[in-house]
């Protein structure tokens, strides 16, 4: 038994064809057939039934194929780990993300740095469209962004892996009389003082809002999250932001700040996820970062702490 034989039976099971499997593995049909026959003889059972309709696993074969998939996944893990140890642990990766991205990615970075001390992970917080542009210019390896459903159409070479769906919400001091109830009416929102993060979607929301309800008082716009937090904590104003940005926000988790939905106010869904290469030529370290970040987010969401 060898790895190639295991790969062959998995591929044949997928396409139910010796010919197609042989083409994919760059081997002759007779070669792949003889290899599978030899494996069946070694194991003492028939893995496939061959007919004019195609090649289909026997009941015993299905069990063998399931075990084979597990074995091949473990073998790939060994290969990936070896590659990390010999190459990537001394490499580097550049990642950008929208506000709210940092807590989970920092925990991911901490885990990987503990495992690979020489690995350099550079993380920057930016707006979604800046991240897309940096990715297009090959300045970063991956980016966590917020996009409308069709926002990336026409961007050849860019793929988007959505993680979840969200919307824009209001964040306000807990002592505000508006903080109770979980919602704020647009007419009440219009009367408030705003401090805004300089984000494309926040800007778009406010443009649409003012067109419908009139001008609002914006104290200032900034990319400095600390300045916004200080103003909110002091009760000077409220802000608009992605619901995702507040999931791990300490003042929200502690109850000092409160999240409100703007209701009634229809919004087009915003999707949060990873921008990456369409050809899936992402480096192993980038894939590892994305995988661990997604696990971190889903675990926090399940535990109710994200």
Q: Which domain holds residue 225?
A: 168-262
Per-residue pLDDT for 34 more than 60?
Answer: yes
| Per-residue confidence band for 111, with pLDDT thresholds at 50, 70 and 90 | confident
Same domain, 193 and 238: yes
Same domain, 174 and 198: yes
Question: Number of structural domains, the chain?
Answer: 3
CATH number, residue 50: 1.10.10.10
pLDDT (tens digit per residue) in 123-169:
888 888 889 889 888 898 888 888 886 666 556 567 788 888 889 99
pLDDT (tens digit per residue) in 220-243:
999 888 889 999 999 999 999 988
Average pLDDT over residues 79-103: 72
Pick from 124, 103, 95, 98: which is nearest to 271 by CA?
A: 98
Same domain, 13 and 61: yes
- 287 CB-near residues (< 8 Å, 6+ apart): none
Same domain, 226 and 104: no
pLDDT (tens digit per residue) in 255-290:
999 999 999 999 888 888 888 776 555 666 777 778
- Between 155 and 69, the more confident residue is 69
Same domain, 160 and 276: yes
* pLDDT attached to residue 306: 43
Same domain, 221 and 247: yes
Same domain, 293 and 258: no
| Per-residue confidence band for 177, with pLDDT thresholds at 50, 70 and 90 | very high
Same domain, 113 and 39: no
Q: Is the pTM of this model over 0.75?
A: no
CATH number, residue 114: 3.40.190.10
Write out the chain in H/E/C secondary structure.
CCHHHHHHHHHHHHHCCHHHHHHHCCCCHHHHHHHHHHHHHHHCCCCEEEECCEEEECHHHHHHHHHHHHHHHHHHHHHHHHHHHHCHHHCEEEEEECCCCHHHHHHHHHHHHHHCCCCEEEEEECCHHHHHHHHHCCCCCEEEEEECCCCCCCCCCEEEEEEEEECEEEEEECCCCCCCCCEECHHHHCCCEEEEECCHHHHHHHHHHHHHHCCCEEEEEECCHHHHHHHHHCCCCEEEEEHHHHCCCHHHHHCCEEEEEECCCCCCCEEEEEEEECCCCCCHHHHHHHHHHHHHHHHHHHHCCC
Residue reference for tokens 């929102």:
189
Per-residue pLDDT for 299 more than 80?
Answer: no
Tokens of residue 263, six digits: 């209701």
- Between 194 and 90, the more confident residue is 194
Beta strands across the sheet bearing 270-277 = 120-125, 92-97, 142-147, 270-277, 158-166
Most confident of 96-110, 148-162, 210-224, 282-296: 210-224
| Per-residue confidence band for 89, with pLDDT thresholds at 50, 70 and 90 | low
């Amino acid at each position: 038994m060898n790895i190639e034989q295991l790969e062959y039976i998995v591929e044949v099971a997928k396409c139910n064809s010796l010919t197609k499997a042989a083409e994919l593995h760059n081997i002759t049909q007779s070669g792949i057939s003889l290899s599978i026959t030899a494996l069946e003889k070694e194991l003492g059972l028939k893995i496939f039934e061959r007919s004019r309709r195609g090649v289909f696993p026997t009941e015993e074969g299905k069990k063998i194929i399931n075990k084979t998939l597990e074995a091949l996944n473990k073998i790939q893990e060994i290969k990936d780990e070896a590659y990390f140890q010999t190459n990537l642990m001394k490499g580097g990766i550049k990642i950008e993300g929208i506000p709210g991205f940092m807590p989970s990615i920092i925990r991911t970075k901490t885990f990987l740095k503990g495992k690979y001390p020489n690995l350099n992970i550079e993380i920057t917080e930016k707006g979604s469209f800046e991240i897309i542009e940096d990715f297009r210019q090959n300045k970063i390896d991956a980016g966590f962004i917020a996009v409308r459903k069709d926002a990336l159409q026409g961007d050849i070479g860019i793929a988007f892996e959505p993680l979840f769906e969200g919307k824009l919400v209001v964040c306000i001091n807990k002592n505000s009389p508006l903080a109770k109830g979980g919602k704020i009416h647009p007419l009440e929102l219009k009367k408030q003082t705003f401090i805004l993060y300089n984000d494309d979607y926040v800007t778009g929301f406010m443009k649409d809002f003012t067109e419908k309800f009139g001008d609002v008082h914006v104290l200032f716009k900034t990319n400095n999250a600390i300045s916004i937090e200080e103003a909110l904590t002091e009760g000077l104003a409220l802000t608009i932001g992605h619901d995702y940005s507040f999931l791990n926000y300490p003042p929200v988790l502690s109850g000092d700040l409160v999240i409100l939905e703007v209701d009634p106010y229809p919004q087009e869904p915003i999707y949060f996820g990873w921008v990456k290469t369409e050809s899936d030529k992402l480096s192993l370290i980038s894939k590892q970062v994305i995988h661990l970040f997604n696990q971190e987010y889903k675990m926090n969401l399940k535990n109710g702490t994200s």
